[in-house]
């Protein structure tokens, strides 16, 4: 009998890899029966990652969404799975153990069958509790490998993680090829090794289209014995997303595998509904560049979904870099040349930083270091002039053990700054938090929700939940959407540009929300007028496409004016702040 391959629809990831928002609950309920009618999916990704933060951002209760979204699939016998980031849970920074444990209890009660758990550093210690907590509540635990390509990311390296995950009790293994840079032949060897050593373990493959390897990778892992393959559907397939179900089904069928048929009438209806959702409001936040594949990603290993933000970063510093080069009597650079420089610098710094797999948030850390290095090199300075706290935490081991050794240059830099390396279990550094959040909910007379799901949401996404409860999130979203639909003239911005042409303008490279501080443990400190800013210093974070991007000052200066406060919405190219030169000249 031919080997059977089953399919999963990564419906959430389709939207998150394309833009910022995901469909509303009414839209999800509309398309769910159509997806079921397609008849080709044994599994569907229903929540996890940044999905619930996005619900909160436009004023929807994510707990209600997950319960109602999973219900029709539960009733149809289609398994549901979530994505969670181990130590980081379903947010961008570490989660206390008691909150991690509650997450699995809540998600199981809401109808989620499988927990896909990954550590961005492939540190098995971060996976141990995820596996334990998932199994305690009766979920299947799918331990996940963050796939990347380097001399140290060998089959043997990944098998060491697999061995520990299975020792901890994992039911399944997933290969998460988040940047699509895994080489097809090597991925096939890895799946074959897993299946040879653990023949009864289910293996699932998740690969983004990015640099173009995904289709070949899917054929190779299928030949090696994979059981499930993640796919997408048009108009959101390909580009930075995943291959379309039609192509993968046809390819595997031709190769002799047993694959389910696709109800094409239902497929076309689902495709039309996705387009309807795009036209309704979701398309305003979908970057057209995410429709394209790029072989430039092969060398640097960055996820394709970062292409839009990388280009925006480069556009934001391009003019200033060229002015610096002109002042030094050097040849200026066009954007393509700058992009190649950035990719080459990522390739240079990545091994020196210990080869962290380039998945959120570590891909952002490596990219930011590379961009700052380029800026300082072109100013005639050395590398490593500016490394932010989050990146230092990764370097020092607070997020987990790095896959490779740090370069001596980085170790010496840490010693010079009197920074201590952390060798303990990462989870031990984060004490329990639920009693604090329980008390505040009692004080506010807030309902804990069914199965403590509201307590979970508050503790997991504190800032977004507060804005949701106050109504501020919904108000902000509606204002944001209104701006898109009305396309107002930027007269105020133009006026500021005219009167402040001698000052350095810190502009937003894309649309999003301003945050001066994303550390929820302390009160946010805004940059204030007359503050002295150093070259390479972070001005603020810009929350866009569910990622926090750093806005960096290219030159030193004194804050002349700042136009936004914590949490304010900013449109692309709007001026965030003005810096006047120090001593009448820029650095």
Provide the residue-wise pLDDT of the chain in tens; the chain has 587 residues: 589 999 999 998 899 888 888 999 999 999 999 999 999 999 999 988 778 888 998 899 999 999 999 999 999 999 999 999 999 999 888 999 999 999 999 999 999 999 999 999 999 999 999 999 999 999 999 999 999 999 999 999 999 999 999 999 999 999 999 989 999 999 999 999 999 999 999 999 999 998 999 999 999 999 999 999 999 999 999 988 999 999 999 999 999 999 999 999 999 999 999 999 999 999 888 877 778 888 878 888 877 666 656 666 777 677 778 888 888 888 888 888 888 888 899 999 999 999 999 887 888 889 889 988 988 888 888 899 888 888 899 999 999 999 999 999 999 999 999 999 999 999 999 999 999 999 999 999 999 999 999 999 999 999 899 999 999 999 988 988 888 787 533 333 333 334 455 678 888 877 777 888 765 444 446 788 888 888 778 888 887 655 667 788 877 889 988 888 777 778 777 888 888 888 655 44
User: CB 327: neighbour CB atoms within 10 A?
Assistant: 10
Cα 463 to Cα 239, 368, 466, distances in angstroms: 32, 25, 5
Q: What is the pLDDT of residue 546?
A: 53
User: CB 447: neighbour CB atoms within 10 A?
Assistant: 10
Q: Which of 148, 167, 168, 171 is nearest to 158 (CA)?
A: 148
Q: What is the pLDDT of residue 495?
A: 33
Three-state SS at 135: helix
Tell me the sheet residues that pair with 557. Answer: 533
Q: What is the pLDDT of residue 410?
A: 96
Cα 467 to Cα 470, 490, 548, distances in angstroms: 5, 27, 18
243-250, long-range: CB < 8 A, 24+ apart: 243/207, 243/209, 243/214, 243/215, 243/218, 245/7, 245/9, 245/40, 245/41, 247/215, 248/7, 248/215, 248/218, 249/7, 249/40
Q: What is the pLDDT of residue 549?
A: 74
Burial of 409 (0-12, 13-18, 19+ CB in 10 A): exposed
Location of each CATH 3.20.20.70 domain in the chain:
6-290
Q: Which of 178, 164, 174, 537 is nearest to 361 (CA)?
A: 178
Give the C-alpha separation, 420 to 400, whole Å. 14
Cα 32 to Cα 24, 36, 39, 202, distances in angstroms: 12, 6, 12, 26
Q: What is the pLDDT of residue 572?
A: 74
Please give the distance of CA 471 from its chain centroid, rounded to a whole number.
26
Looking at residue 444, what DSSP letter applies? T
Tokens of 39: 């008849």
- Encode 256-288: b = buried (16+ Cβ within 10 Å), e = exposed: ebebbebbeebbebbbebbeebbeebbbbbbbe
Do 53 and 85 form a contact (C-beta atoms < 8 A)? no
CATH of domain 488-580: 2.40.50.100
Q: What is the pLDDT of residue 493?
A: 38
Q: What is the pLDDT of residue 489?
A: 34
Give the C-alpha separation, 271 to 273, whole Å. 5
Do 300 and 150 form a contact (C-beta atoms < 8 A)? no
End-to-end CA distance of the chain: 71
Indicate the CATH number of 6-290 among 3.20.20.70, 1.10.472.50, 3.40.50.460, 1.10.10.10.
3.20.20.70
Location of each CATH 2.40.50.100 domain in the chain:
488-580
Phi-psi region of 553 (alpha: psi -120 to 50; beta: other; left: phi over 0): beta
Tell me the sheet residues that pair with 270. Answer: none
Pairing of strands 557-562, 575-580: antiparallel
Tokens of 165: 């995950």
Question: Tokens 């390396």 correspond to what residue?
Answer: 421
Please give the distance of CA 115 from its chain centroid, rounded to a whole number.
17
Q: What is the pLDDT of residue 114?
A: 98
For residue 95, what are the contacts with CB-CB under 8 A and spacing of at least 6?
87, 88, 89, 103, 430, 460
Q: What is the pLDDT of residue 492?
A: 36
Question: Model-level pTM?
Answer: 0.82
Three-state SS at 384: coil
């Amino acid at each position: 009998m031919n080997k059977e391959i089953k399919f999963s629809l990564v419906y959430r990831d389709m939207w998150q890899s394309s833009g910022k928002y995901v469909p509303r609950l009414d839209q999800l309920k509309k398309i769910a029966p159509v997806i079921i009618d397609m008849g080709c999916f044994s599994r569907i990704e229903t929540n996890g990652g940044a999905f619930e933060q996005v619900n909160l951002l436009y004023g929807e209760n994510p707990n209600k969404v997950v319960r109602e979204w999973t219900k029709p699939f539960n009733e149809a016998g289609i398994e549901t799975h979530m994505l969670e980031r181990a130590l980081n849970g379903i947010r961008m920074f570490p989660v206390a153990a008691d909150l991690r444990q509650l997450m699995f209890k809540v998600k199981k009660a809401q109808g989620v069958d499988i927990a896909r758990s990954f550590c961005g550093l492939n540190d098995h210690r971060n996976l141990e509790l995820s596996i334990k907590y998932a199994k305690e509540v009766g979920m299947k635990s799918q331990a996940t490998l963050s796939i990347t390509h380097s001399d140290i990311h060998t089959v043997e390296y990944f098998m060491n993680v697999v061995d520990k995950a299975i020792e901890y009790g994992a039911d399944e293994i997933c290969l998460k090829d988040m940047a699509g840079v895994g080489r097809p032949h090597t991925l096939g060897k890895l799946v074959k090794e897993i299946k040879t050593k653990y023949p009864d373990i289910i293996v699932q493959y998740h690969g983004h289209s990015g640099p173009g390897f995904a289709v070949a990778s899917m054929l190779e892992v299928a030949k090696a014995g994979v059981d499930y393959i993640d796919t997408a559907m048009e108009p959101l397939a390909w580009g930075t997303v995943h291959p379309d179900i039609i192509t993968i089904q046809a390819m595997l069928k031709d190769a002799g595998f047993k694959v389910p048929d696709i109800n094409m009438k239902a497929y076309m209806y689902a495709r039309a509904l996705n387009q309807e959702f795009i036209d309704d409001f979701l398309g305003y936040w979908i970057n057209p560049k995410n429709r394209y594949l790029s072989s430039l990603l092969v060398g640097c290993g960055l996820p394709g979904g970062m292409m839009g933000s990388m280009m925006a970063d480069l556009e934001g510093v391009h003019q200033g870099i060229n002015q610096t080069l002109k002042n030094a009597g050097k040849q200026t650079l066009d954007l393509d040349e700058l992009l190649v420089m950035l990719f080459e610098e990522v390739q240079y710094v990545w091994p020196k930083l210990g080869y962290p797999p380039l998945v959120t948030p570590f891909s952002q850390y490596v990219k930011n270091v590379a961009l700052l290095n380029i800026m300082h090199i072109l100013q005639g300075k050395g590398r490593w002039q500016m490394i932010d706290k989050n990146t230092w935490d990764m370097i020092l081991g607070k997020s987990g053990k790095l896959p490779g050794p740090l370069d001596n240059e980085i170790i010496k830099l840490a010693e010079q700054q009197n920074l201590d390396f952390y060798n303990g279990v990462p989870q031990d550094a984060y004490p329990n938090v639920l009693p604090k959040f329980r008390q505040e909910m009692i004080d506010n007379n807030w309902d804990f929700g069914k199965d403590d799901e509201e307590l979970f949401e508050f503790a997991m996404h504190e800032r977004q939940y507060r804005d949701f409860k106050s109504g501020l999130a919904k108000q902000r979203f509606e204002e944001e959407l209104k701006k898109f639909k009305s396309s107002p003239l930027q007269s105020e911005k133009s006026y500021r540009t005219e009167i402040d042409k001698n000052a350095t303008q810190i502009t937003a490279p894309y649309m999003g929300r301003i945050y001066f501080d994303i550390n929820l443990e302390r009160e946010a400190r805004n940059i204030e007028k007359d503050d002295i800013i150093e070259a390479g210093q972070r001005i603020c974070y810009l929350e866009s496409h569910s990622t926090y991007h750093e806005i960096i000052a290219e030159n030193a200066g004194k804050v002349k004016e700042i136009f936004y406060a914590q949490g304010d919405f900013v449109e692309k190219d709007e001026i965030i702040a003005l810096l006047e030169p120090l001593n009448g000249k820029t650095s």
